Amino acid sequence: MRRTIPPVTRLLILANVAVFGLELLRGDRFVDTFALWPLGRHFHTWQLVTHAFLHGSSAHLFFNMFALYMFGGELERVFGPRRYLEYYMVAVITAGATQLVAMSATHGPVYPTVGASGGVFGLLLAFGVLFPRRMLVLIFPPIPMPAWLFVTLYGLIELYLGITGTQMGVAHFAHLGGMLGGGLLLHRWRRQALEADEP
């Protein structure tokens, strides 16, 4: 029996697609308002959330939404809608905050950050924690590996690319920030569950 996309995951995908349509209609001014800018006169607090609904291209949007569909749907079934949305938004906000810190520290070229990747990387971490032995296959090279190894390698690659400045224009520290925020929230939930079980 074919499984439907759970409601919050479906809503997030539809929201991202709708906002991308607005980007095409409204142009650069719309993007400049809602993208995440470095701290300064262009920065506004709401950008910590809104940047995650903007995308630089249709390919950027497609791959993020595909990952959201692949990992988010299953996690929503485990967490439930409310906790799943909380987890996703925490990953998005910590991704944005981490990117702000990285941009302030490097003093490199000033450009805005867009994309749902921070939230997606948070979901990827949760998937690796909850389903560590689930086999995943890379697109290239097509090598199957358990989810825990996939997530670990991906995180290490992002850390290396971020530190070395490889692939300029890609928000590697936002990706790591999404994983960090998701990991901290999972740890908090686990502690709360253990405390609730104590006599």
Task: Please write the tens of the pLDDT for every residue from 45-90.
Answer: 999 999 999 998 899 999 899 989 989 999 999 999 999 999 999 9
Is residue 171, in this structure, part of any structural domain at all?
A: yes
Rounded CA-CA distance 54/116 in Å is 7
Tell me: pLDDT of 96 over 60.
Answer: yes
Query: What band does 167 get if pLDDT is binned at 50, 70 and 90?
Result: low
pLDDT of residue 107: 67
Cβ count within 10 A of residue 146: 15
Instruction: Look at residue 188 and tell me if it is in a domain.
Output: yes
CATH of the domain at 64: 1.20.1540.10
Q: Helix 117-130 vs helix 172-197: angle between axes, to the nearest 10 degrees? A: 40
| Residue 195 predicted with pLDDT over 70 | yes
Closest C-alpha to 111, from 99, 98, 94 = 99
Q: What single letter denotes the amino acid at residue 91? A: A
Residue at 2 is within a domain: no
* pLDDT for position 1: 37
Answer yes or no: is 1 within a domain: no
Determine the pLDDT at residue 165: 63
CA gap 11, 176 in Å, rounded: 24
pLDDT of residue 108: 62
What is the torsional sign of CA 167, 173, 179, 182? negative
Number of domains making up the chain: 1
Q: Using the predicted structure, report yes or no on whether residue 34 has a pLDDT greater than 50.
A: yes
Average pLDDT of the chain, as a whole number: 88
pLDDT for the residue 155:
83
Query: Is the residue at 58 inside a domain?
Result: yes
Contact criterion met (CB below 8 Å) for 95 and 170? no
Helices (H) and strands (E) in the chain, counts: 9, 2
Helix intervals (H) in 107-135? 117-130
Give the Å distances, CA to CA, from 178 to 30, 99, 145, 172.
24, 10, 22, 10
What residues make up the domain containing 82?
7-197
Mean pLDDT in residue range 32-50: 90
